[in-house]
Each structure stands twice: as C-alpha cells, then as structure tokens.
Amino acid sequence: MNIPSLFCAVSLIFVPASSGADSFSATLKKLPAESGKSSFVSNGIPLELKAADMQEKYIDPTRVTDVGKAQMQFYFPAGWRSRDKRPALCIFPGGGYALMAIDKEGAHIARWAAEHGMVGVVVKYRVSQENNAIGKFPGPLLDARQALRLTRKHAGKLGVDPGKIGVMGFSAGGHLAAMAATLWNKTLPEEADNPLRSVSARPDFAMLIYPVITMAPKDTHPGTRNKIIGSKPDPSLEELCSSERQVTPNTPPVFLVHAQDDGVASANSKFMEKACRDKAVPVTLRLYSKGGHGYGMEKRGNPTDRWPEDAEKWLSERKILPADASSRGTDNTAEVDSSGKREE
C-alpha cells in the first residue's frame, strides 16, 4: 500500500479478545484521501474495563480526559510502503494520568516522527479526572505494553522494523514510557489471558521528555503520584513505580530531556541517568538551563527549543533513523552518556 501524502493517520482501539477475529490483521484501508484517517479494531487485550460506559471527553481541542479504552493512531511517512522496515515511535502524551495533551505531546510529535522517516504511534492510554481506578497502576502500563506488542506483532503490515520500536513520553507520559522500558518483563496477573502475551513488550529505545521518574515523595510530582499509585501506597508499589529503582542491564538505551527550572524537579531525570549508568545502560541526558515544563516541540525562545534536534542526533548516532535522515543536533548543553563522561 502506498501513501503519497506526508503522513496518514490510522486509528486502532483495544477491545476484548472475545469480540472476534483480529481485524487489524486485514490489509489496512484508507477512507477518502481528504480525511487521511481510518479506524480499525483489534482483539487487543482482554481487560474488563470498569470504565466501559465512561464517555471520553475533550476539555478543549488539545486535551482529552476520561479515556476508558486505549487507542492507537499511526502516522506514516511520505513514501511509506507496507514492506518497509522503518523504526516506530510509540508516543505517550502527558497530563498527570488525569488527562492527555493529545495534540502538543501526541499528534505533533507523531508528525515529527513521520517527517523523519519513522512510523509515529500516538497511544491514548487510560486516564480519568475522576476519583476512580481508571488511571491507577497497572492500567496505563497494560495499555503501553499492549501498544508495543501490537506494533511488533503487525510490524510486517505497518512497514516497521520489529527491532526498532521505541517509546517517547512527556511528563506523566514520560513516567509511563520509563515504566514500559524498565518493567517490560514484569509478570502482571492482569495479562494472564492476553493472547499477545508471548509477543515481546520490550521497547528498543526510550526517550523521556521532562519525565516524572520517581515516586519518592520528596522529588516526585504529587499529582502524578497520587493518580498512578494513590496518596498512601504500599511501599512495594512505590518502589515498583519508581523507574530509577527498576533499571537493569536489560533496560533499553535512554534519552532524557529536562530543564533546570522545570516544576517537575530535574532530579527525576538525573536519578534515571545515574541508574542507567550504574547498570551500564546507554544513556544521554540533555539538561537545559531554562525551558520550564510542558513545551512539547513548541519554540519559546528557550534553550529547550533545541531538544528535537538533539533527539534527532541521538537517534541518528544510534542508527535508529533511516540512513537518509539528517542529524542536526546541537552540542551546547551538558550531555551525559553511559560512560559517565559529561561534555559541555
């Protein structure tokens, strides 16, 4: 299948396995070209969602909440063909597990990925503003893992290299991406009947943008912590969801972005960088002097404006981007790699 436009967005919704055959296995079909979108249903993960009757709603055109069913939207680059073997980037927007900045930290990022020859995958995972269990652990992690499994299982139809499927997350979405990278081989009882459980959920690389990492009260983001594990979690759950404590030598390479004036303490990224170094996991931390939080890829006249170019450089150096992708990253901020050497 050829897609001549810059990108085409294709949506998929996770529904229970009992719903019937996996229609995602069918050849992808587009709606009329002017729409650029098409929806597909997969047998997905067999979860009994208590929010089945929850009505997803948009706070405004850029933010969504009360998501009871996980969804994926695929963005394909110009010249894409199903026989390609392109890298894929599963993207988790932020919003404190209460909502998602689905545009600035979702669609915009997927378009950037497509422009750089990747298949961008926006993952709309379970979140809720209400005081319920929808956004609590392990719900969002189950959605993240299933998104990785589905992308890998159907790599041959998506034009994706199954060995180059990464995650990128922002703020709370960065926490989710970090959990996906560190807990990918964690056995979760909720997945016991998942027909895709034998498909690897390990991301091949992780890009964490102004992420929440730790659940330790001193350095975490309180709202995010409360949503994902509650205000008085069991200590074992707090440790499990503190990604810096879950890094192993099998954690994939990590790229981190943070500003020193971020309201989510930059200690989060520093903790993750140190944990990766200690376990000999390749890691790069781009720590900028100014930029705040929640900027996505917006240009605001701050040092953080450079992070997309630095991310592109990192992807190129790791030979993740297609060979014809350019590398325009800058070198005028501190960078930490897995050797522990800091370059100015």
> Which residues, at least 6 apart from 94, have a Cβ–Cβ distance to it below 8 Å?
100, 101, 105, 169, 170, 171, 172, 173, 174, 210, 294
Q: How many angstroms from the chain centroid is the CA of residue 245?
A: 19
- Asked if 203 and 144 count as a contact pair (C-beta separation under 8 A), the reply is no
The full set of domain ranges for the chain reads: 9-343
CA distance 101 to 104: 6
Is the CB of residue 112 less than 8 Å from the CB of residue 187? no
Nearest to 180 by CA among 90, 266, 273: 90
Please report the pLDDT score of residue 13 as a whole number: 53
- In sequence order, what are the residues at sequence separation of 6 or more whose Cβ sits closer than 8 angstroms to the Cβ of residue 44? 13, 14, 15, 16, 17, 70, 146, 150, 196
pLDDT at residue number 5: 34
pLDDT value at position 255? 99
Could you count the other beta carbons within 10 Å of the beta carbon of residue 18?
A: 7
CATH of 9-343, one of 1.10.238.10, 3.40.50.1820, 2.60.40.60, 3.30.1330.30: 3.40.50.1820
Cα 329 to the center of its chain, rounded Å: 21
pLDDT given for residue 132 in this prediction? 83
C-alpha to C-alpha distance for 174 and 284, rounded to whole angstroms: 15
pLDDT at 295: 98
Between CA 72 and CA 85 the distance in angstroms is 19
Q: What is the pLDDT of residue 55?
A: 80
DSSP codes, 171-217: THHHHHHHHHHHSTT---GGGTT-TTTTS----S-EEEES------T
Could you tell me whether strands 206-209 and 254-259 are parallel, antiparallel, or unpaired per DSSP bridges? parallel
Strands 9-14, 254-259: pairing kind:
unpaired
Beta bridge partners, 64, equal 58, 100
Q: Give the pLDDT confidence score for residue 313 in this predicted structure.
A: 98
Cα atoms in the 13 Å half-sphere on the side-chain side of 139: 23
pLDDT in tens, the chain (344 residues): 333 334 455 555 543 332 222 333 333 333 222 223 333 333 333 333 334 456 888 999 999 999 988 999 999 999 999 999 999 999 999 999 999 999 999 999 999 999 999 999 999 999 998 888 888 999 999 999 999 999 999 999 999 999 999 999 999 999 999 999 999 999 999 999 999 999 999 999 999 999 999 999 999 999 999 999 999 999 999 999 999 999 999 999 999 999 999 999 999 999 999 999 999 999 999 999 999 999 999 999 999 999 999 999 999 999 999 876 643 333 322 333 322 333 32
Counting beta carbons within 10 angstroms of the beta carbon of residue 16, is it exposed (0 to 12), middle (13 to 18) or buried (19 or more)?
middle
Distance of CA 127 to the CA centre of its chain: 14
- What's the Cα-to-Cα distance from 252 to each of 23, 75, 125, 165, rounded to whole Å? 31, 24, 22, 11
Q: Residues with Cβ < 8 Å from 80, sequence gap 6 or more?
A: 2, 3, 8, 86, 119, 159
pLDDT at residue number 68: 86
Q: Is 234 exposed, middle or buried (0-12, 13-18, 19+ CB in 10 A)?
A: exposed
